[in-house]
Amino acid sequence: MSEILAFQAILFVCATTAFVASLRFLRRFLELKHERLLRAPADGIMERLDRIEAGIEATALEVERVAEAHRFTARLLAERVEPVKPLSKPERVITPH
């Protein structure tokens, strides 16, 4: 009878160890699955990021156009200005005190 009891004890220890190991494996598998779901962006977010990127690129292009127009206007105005003539001395004005 002691052989049967020893066999049952060994069987119980092995079964418990296997059960605990399988539970730990399952828990880790579920944790990794949850982390992957959190890390992966949703489809709506990717579309939204693409639209934001397109908007920023369009805005940058318009800012560059405005800057080029400003430089062009400044150059035209700089070329158009006549040199400043020296001022002649104003005539003397006598004012009563």
pLDDT digits (tens, 9 = 90+) for 29-58: 999 999 888 877 677 888 899 999 999 999
pLDDT digits (tens, 9 = 90+) for 50-92: 999 999 999 999 999 999 999 999 999 888 867 666 677 767 7
Torsion angles phi and psi, residue 43, rounded to 5 = -65, -40
Global pTM value: 0.43
Domain boundaries, the chain: 11-40, 41-79
- Please state, in angstroms and rounded to a whole number, the distance separating the CA atoms of residues 25 and 32: 11
Cβ contacts of residue 41 below 8 Å, gap of 6+?
49
